[in-house]
Amino acid sequence: MRLALFTLMLCAAPALAAAPGPEGVWRTAKGPKGGSMNVRVAPCQGSGAELCGTIVQIFDMTRTDFIGVVLIRDMAAR
């Protein structure tokens, strides 16, 4: 039984190590009027480990002037 559990843990370890981080482009949930947006989470400009989230694309909304707005500033892991 122990050998089977150990083998299962070894097989799962690479999948856990390859889990994606928070960086990338994330799609928000649809709002009350049906609109959503893509937010790019990436290191802040001139920063080390902190992350920022910037609107890069808007769907089903008439307000495109929000593109480039930073929604998340200086987010860091605890």
Q: Which of 63, 57, 61, 56 is nearest to 34 (CA)?
A: 61
**Per-residue pLDDT tens digits of the chain, which is 78 residues long:** 555 545 556 566 555 566 788 999 999 999 998 999 999 999 998 767 899 999 999 998 888 899 999 999 999 887
Q: Between β-strands 24-27 and 36-43, what pairing exists: parallel, antiparallel or unpaired?
A: antiparallel
